[in-house]
Chains A and B, each alone.
Chain A
């Protein structure tokens, strides 16, 4: 199974900051890497698909990059509503796997 390692586990940020979250795969997943946001007591929602493709309705401050084994989710100008856990997921091979998540805390 492909193991996805996310770092950091928790990130405490100030509103307005630009931040980057990391997701590293144990083997290449090409660009079949997707990002999800899960707000407290809500279902996850798709944030970025295929490593860097934007999703309709998602604010433009969210962006993704990477390929192969190293991926980054960036938030350009964190807002209070971004308080969430962010998960990466690989769709390159079954079983689909998720990272353990990065929890974003607002200072």
Chain B
């Protein structure tokens, strides 16, 4: 059974950093692209970033480029999202997803609140 379990969320002040983790199991992690998708409170879904299976290429939405870094450790079957220079508009539930142009498995999500 595919499982994606996020951790690392919380309350952080504007301008500070936070790192999310996603532990994957139930599939061969190193064979799949992965992605982060977020959802602001009462809002819709927004793709944030993707990473190739090797980690050699990464892709970001414009609003997070230069501030967020997606990475992975295939030996640990873990996906990461380093979030720097956080803004209030980054407040959202962040989902880890397995990505094959579509998003076929989702984690339970982790809440990130950016507020002073």
Which stretch of B19-27, B42-50, B70-78, B81-89 is in the interface?
A: B42-50
B32: Cβ under 8 A from any A Cβ: no
A98 to B61, CA, bound (A): 13
Residues of the B chain whose Cβ atoms lie less than 8 Å from the Cβ of A92? 101
**Interface size, chain A (Cβ < 8 Å):** 22
Chain A contact residues: over half helix, strand or loop, or mixed?
A: loop
| A18 smallest CB distance to B (angstroms) | 25
Residues of the B chain whose Cβ atoms lie less than 8 Å from the Cβ of A44? 45, 95, 103, 106
A15 to B5, CA, bound (A): 35
Which residues of A in the span 36-68 have a Cβ within 8 Å of any Cβ on B?
36, 38, 43-46, 49-50
Q: Is the CB of A98 within 8 A of B46?
A: yes
Residues of the B chain whose Cβ atoms lie less than 8 Å from the Cβ of A32? 101
Which of A43, A95, A98, A99 contacts B109, CB < 8 Å? Answer: A43
| B109 smallest CB distance to A (angstroms) | 6
Residues of the A chain whose Cβ atoms lie less than 8 Å from the Cβ of B108? 43
A binding-site residues for B, Cβ under 8 Å: 32, 34, 36, 38, 43-46, 49-50, 87, 89, 91-92, 94-101
**Can you list 27 residue pairs at the A/B interface with Cβ under 8 Å?**
A36-B45, A43-B106, A43-B107, A43-B108, A43-B109, A44-B45, A44-B95, A44-B103, A44-B106, A46-B102, A46-B103, A46-B105, A49-B104, A87-B45, A89-B102, A89-B103, A91-B101, A91-B102, A92-B101, A94-B59, A96-B35, A96-B47, A96-B101, A97-B47, A98-B44, A98-B45, A101-B45
